[in-house]
């Protein structure tokens, strides 16, 4: 193919002494001696070539400009099938592409960085752009004008003390801007240390001992605290509020975040400050109230775990454990503390502060695991003095109980069974709050269908009758409507918010015969059978008494009733009777009748 017009053709200078033109080569599918040839020349005198090139994809051509400032150049591309041209007219001062600053260095204070570099003058006024990369990834650009000297510098202010920044510089023509230079090398710069800003967050745990109290202090950095350097130590000071005695203090290495001191039963003011190589931070203050007789009693009860303050139950969520409390207007903040590892000592006490308008919070910790009971204490704070308000206990997620209730007694009747079990131990080691019990019953043969129960299907598709007891303090239950003389399997399971363990071990019972039914059978079967046997044995006598061949009034038992008597004589009324046989006993009897 014939060549295309050269693309991206432009010219520029970096030092006002030499111009470089660049362009992109087009594809002609001709190679070797037939490949395209490029010629760059003045438009007014094309016979005099500035340069000739046979180049790869990206092409360039440079020449010395001397004193000439305005240029009109033509680029010609030719192959055996044709030729094309491109023209560029420019003022050299308008095509300034500066070189990158070299030999850059810096100095700093706690809040400022000053960058220095040297740059050869080329007769063009430049302006400079400084890029500062903060630790959080934010980029700041600072522009500054040129100064008439070989030594250049720029100062960036408003930085954080003892913080590492990355900075670099580039430049461009102040007038008739063409393009930026390349960036200089990047410098990693750390500002100098400054006085710590903000306060530490301090908390305490009080343990009564003989003659006073052990006060364990904990501290941590708050989001608003800035060390502004390397913390080298912490200083704790405590003083009595009543008698104005001389304060005591102790200093700790920066590797510590807690300490224990002994104080008597007076009120104390506790202060803690962080120190770096420059100065101390502002003090964080706690007021420890005096231990009066009543408060010492309450404190000691708290230490023994017998304080009258009731523990409310709280629930876990996907994000943590939800804690809520009743707000009081007298407090300016609330504190919740807990142990990350309640079964260990030390338990890794943690705490979190909340504003006065907060009445609930989700407490989360990477240490929280399912099946572990966590205790939370909620304090109200005013003027740096904290008071215990509420206690809460809860789980991130409840698990089924470790053990089943132990059945201690079984009372059987022909149609019911009463189960008795010991009180279930609901101690801190339990993996959930026991909410109640399930009683499962099923005959050994056949399915269960007892009144008042629900069906429960096991993994092997067998069917049980299920009863639910929602009172965890209940210790007995009666299953009714059983069949007499039947074998049943039965089990009692405790359940929590996490469910219950799989059903494995059953108790097997046999219901007795129904004695009332036996008595009824005796009346219906045995007695009539005995009567029939006696009648059969005395058949002749029974026949003579009840069914004689010829009835005799005097012998008839039937005629012994009153209505068949006249005076002392038995009377057989034959008004409606048609006799089959008439027999005469004797003439005397006939005369009487």
pLDDT at 253: 94
**Which tokens belong to 94?**
């308008």
Confidence of residue 187 (pLDDT cuts 50, 70, 90): very high
pLDDT tens-digit map of 338-386: 999 998 988 999 999 999 999 999 999 999 999 999 999 999 999 999 9
Which DSSP letter does residue 563 get? G
pLDDT score at 394: 94
Question: In this predicted structure, what is the pLDDT of residue 37?
Answer: 86
List 324's β-bridge partners, or say none: 360
Distances (CA, A) of 417 to 346, 423, 457, 552: 50, 19, 22, 63
Q: Per-residue pLDDT tens for 487-502?
A: 999 999 999 999 999 9
CA distance 80 to 3: 9
437-465 pLDDT, tens digit per residue, is 999 999 988 888 888 889 998 888 889 99
Q: Name the CA dihedral angle for 207, 210, 211, 213, rounded to a multiple of 10 degrees.
A: -10
Structure tokens at 391: 């206690």
Among 141, 143, 185, 136, residue whose Cα is nearest residue 165? 136
Closest of 71, 74, 31 to residue 54, by C-alpha: 31
Handedness of CA 185, 188, 191, 192 (dihedral sign): negative
Report the C-alpha gap between 253 and 137 in whole angstroms: 32
Which string of DSSP letters, residue by residue, matches 498-549?
TB-PPP---EEEEPPP-HHHHHHHIIIIIHHHHHHHHHHHTHHHHHHHHS-S
**pLDDT tens track for 222-245:** 888 999 999 999 999 999 998 778
Tokens of 191: 């500002």
What's residue 304's pLDDT?
Answer: 40
- Percentage of the chain beyond pLDDT 90 is 53
**Residue 203's CB: how many other CB atoms inside 10 A?**
21
Strand segments, DSSP code E, in 224-344 are 233-240, 248-253, 258-263, 268-275, 284-288, 311-314, 321-324, 333-339
The answer for residues whose C-beta is within 8 angstroms of residue 210's C-beta and 6 or more apart is none
Instruction: Kindly report the average pLDDT of the chain as a whole number.
Output: 85
Whole-number Å distance between alpha carbons of 9 and 23: 4
Confidence (pLDDT) at 569 = 63
Considering the chain, what percentage of its residues have pLDDT values greater than 70?
A: 85
Res 80 pLDDT > 70 = yes
Q: How confident is the model at residue 294 (pLDDT cuts 50, 70, 90)?
A: very low
The pLDDT value recorded for residue 189 is: 94
> How would DSSP label each residue in 358-374?
--EEEE--TT--TT-EE
User: 98 or 120, which is more confident?
Assistant: 98
Asked if the model's pLDDT at residue 576 lies above 90, the reply is: no
User: Omega before 346 cis (within 30°)?
Assistant: yes
Quickly list H helices, 190-313: 293-304
For 134-166, the pLDDT digits (tens) are 999 999 999 888 766 677 888 999 999 999 999
pLDDT band at 475 (very low <50, low <70, confident <90, very high): very high
Give pLDDT, residue 296: 47
* 532-566 tens-digit pLDDT: 777 777 676 666 666 666 666 555 555 555 555 55
Poorest-pLDDT segment among 36-50, 83-97, 192-206, 294-308? 294-308
Weakest mean pLDDT among 25-29, 211-215, 397-401, 576-580: 576-580
Does the structure show a pLDDT above 50 at 120?
yes
Go through the domains of the chain in sequence order and give each one's CATH number.
7-94 (2.60.40.10), 104-190 (2.60.40.10), 200-295 (2.60.40.10), 308-395 (2.60.40.10), 407-511 (2.60.40.10)
In sequence order, the 6+-apart residues with CB closer than 8 A to the CB of 318 are: none
pLDDT at 246 over 50: yes
Q: Is the pLDDT of residue 87 over 70?
A: yes
pLDDT confidence of residue 144: 87
Indicate whether 272 pLDDT > 80. yes
Please report the pLDDT score of residue 446 as a whole number.
80
Whole-number Å distance between alpha carbons of 349 and 339: 4
Kindly give, in sequence order, each residue whose CB lies less than 8 Å from that of residue 572, ignoring residues fewer than 6 positions away: 551, 553, 556, 559, 564
Is there a contact between 154 and 139 (Cβ–Cβ < 8 Å)? no
**DSSP character for 243?**
S
Find out whether 219 and 284 touch, Cβ atoms under 8 Å. yes
Q: Is 531 exposed, middle or buried (0-12, 13-18, 19+ CB in 10 A)?
A: exposed
Residue 13 has pLDDT above 70, yes or no: yes
In whole angstroms, what separates CA 378 from the centre of its chain? Answer: 20
CA 54 to chain centre: 68
Cα dihedral 581, 587, 592, 593, rounded to 10, equals 20
User: What pLDDT sits at residue 445?
Assistant: 85
Confidence band for 297, pLDDT divided at 50, 70 and 90: very low
476 DSSP β-pair partners: 420
Check if the beta carbon of residue 252 is closer than 8 Å to that of residue 259: yes
Partnered with residue 190 across adjacent β-strands are 164
Contacts with 181 (C-beta within 8 Å, 6 or more apart), sequence order: 97, 98, 99, 100, 101, 170, 171, 172
pTM of the predicted model as reported, rounded to 2 decimal places: 0.68
∠ CA 365-367-370, nearest 5°, is 100
Q: What's the rounded Cα separation, in Å, for the pair 248 and 234?
A: 14
CB atoms within 10 A of CB 279: 14
Whether the per-residue pLDDT at 305 is higher than 80: the answer is no
Selected residue with higher pLDDT from 572 and 138: 138
Q: Coil, helix or strand for 296?
A: helix
Token pair in block for residue 242:
């009543």
From first CA to last CA, the distance across the chain in angstroms is 164
Please give the pLDDT value at position 91.
Answer: 92
Q: Is 461 left (phi over 0), alpha (psi -120 to 50) or beta?
A: left
Q: Which residue has the higher pLDDT, 585 or 151?
A: 151
Gap between the Cα atoms of 40 and 55, Å rounded: 13
Averaged pLDDT for residues 15-29: 85
Higher pLDDT among residues 527 and 522, named by residue: 527
Q: What pLDDT, on the 0 to 100 scale, is given for residue 386?
A: 94
């Amino acid at each position: 193919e014939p060549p295309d017009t050269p693309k991206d053709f432009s010219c520029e200078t970096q030092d006002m002494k030499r111009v470089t033109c660049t362009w992109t080569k087009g594809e002609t599918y001709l190679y070797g001696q037939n490949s395209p040839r490029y010629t760059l020349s003045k438009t007014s005198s094309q016979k005099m070539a500035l340069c000739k090139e046979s180049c790869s994809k990206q092409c360039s051509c440079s020449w010395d400009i001397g004193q000439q400032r305005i240029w009109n150049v033509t680029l010609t591309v030719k192959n055996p099938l044709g030729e094309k041209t491109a023209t560029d007219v420019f003022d050299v001062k308008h095509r300034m592409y500066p070189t990158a600053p070299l030999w850059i260095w810096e100095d700093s204070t706690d809040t400022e960085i000053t960058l220095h570099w040297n740059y050869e003058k080329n007769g063009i006024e430049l302006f400079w752009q400084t890029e500062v990369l903060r630790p959080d990834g934010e980029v700041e650009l600072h522009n500054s004008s040129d100064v008439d000297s070989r030594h250049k510098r720029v100062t960036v202010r408003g930085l954080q003390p003892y913080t590492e920044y990355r900075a670099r510089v580039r430049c461009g023509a102040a007038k008739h801007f063409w393009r930026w230079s390349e960036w200089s090398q990047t410098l990693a710069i750390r500002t100098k240390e400054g006085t710590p800003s903000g306060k530490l967050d301090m908390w305490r745990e009080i343990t009564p001992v003989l003659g006073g109290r052990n006060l364990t202090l904990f501290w941590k950095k708050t989001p608003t605290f800035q060390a502004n350097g390397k913390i080298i130590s912490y200083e704790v000071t405590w003083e009595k509020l009543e008698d104005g005695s001389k304060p005591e203090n102790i200093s700790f290495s920066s590797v510590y975040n807690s300490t224990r001191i002994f104080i008597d039963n007076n009120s104390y003011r506790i202060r803690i400050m962080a120190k770096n190589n420059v100065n101390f931070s502002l003090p964080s203050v706690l007021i420890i109230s005096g231990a009066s007789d009543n408060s010492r009693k309450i404190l000691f009860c708290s230490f023994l775990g017998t304080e009258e303050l009731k523990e409310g139950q709280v629930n876990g969520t996907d994000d943590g454990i939800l804690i809520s409390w009743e707000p009081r207007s007298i407090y300016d903040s609330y504190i919740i503390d807990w142990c990350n590892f309640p079964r260990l000592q030390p338990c890794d006490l943690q705490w979190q502060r909340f504003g006065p308008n907060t009445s609930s919070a989700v407490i989360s910790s990477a240490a929280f695991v399912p099946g572990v009971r966590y205790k939370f204490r909620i304090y109200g704070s005013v003027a740096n003095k904290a008071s215990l308000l509420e206690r809460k206990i809860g789980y991130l997620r409840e698990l089924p109980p470790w053990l089943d209730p132990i059945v201690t007694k079984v009372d059987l009747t022909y149609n019911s069974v009463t189960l008795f079990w010991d009180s279930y131990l609901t101690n801190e080691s339990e993996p959930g709050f026991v909410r109640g019990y399930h009683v499962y019953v099923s005959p050994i043969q056949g399915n269960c269908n007892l009144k008042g129960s629900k069906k429960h299907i096991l993994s092997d598709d067998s069917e049980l009758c299920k009863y639910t007891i929602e009172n965890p303090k209940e210790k007995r239950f009666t299953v009714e409507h059983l069949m007499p003389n039947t074998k049943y399997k039965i089990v009692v399971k405790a359940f929590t918010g996490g469910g219950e363990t799989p059903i494995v071990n059953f108790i097997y019972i046999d219901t007795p015969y129904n004695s009332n039914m036996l008595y009824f059978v005796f009346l219906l079967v045995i007695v009539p059978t005995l009567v029939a046997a006696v009648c059969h044995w005395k058949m002749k006598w029974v026949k003579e008494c009840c069914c004689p061949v010829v009835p005799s009034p005097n012998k008839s038992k039937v005629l012994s009733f009153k209505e068949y008597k006249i005076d002392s004589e038995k009377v057989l009324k034959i008004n409606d009777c048609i006799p089959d046989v008439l027999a005469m006993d004797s003439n005397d009897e006939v005369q009487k009748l």
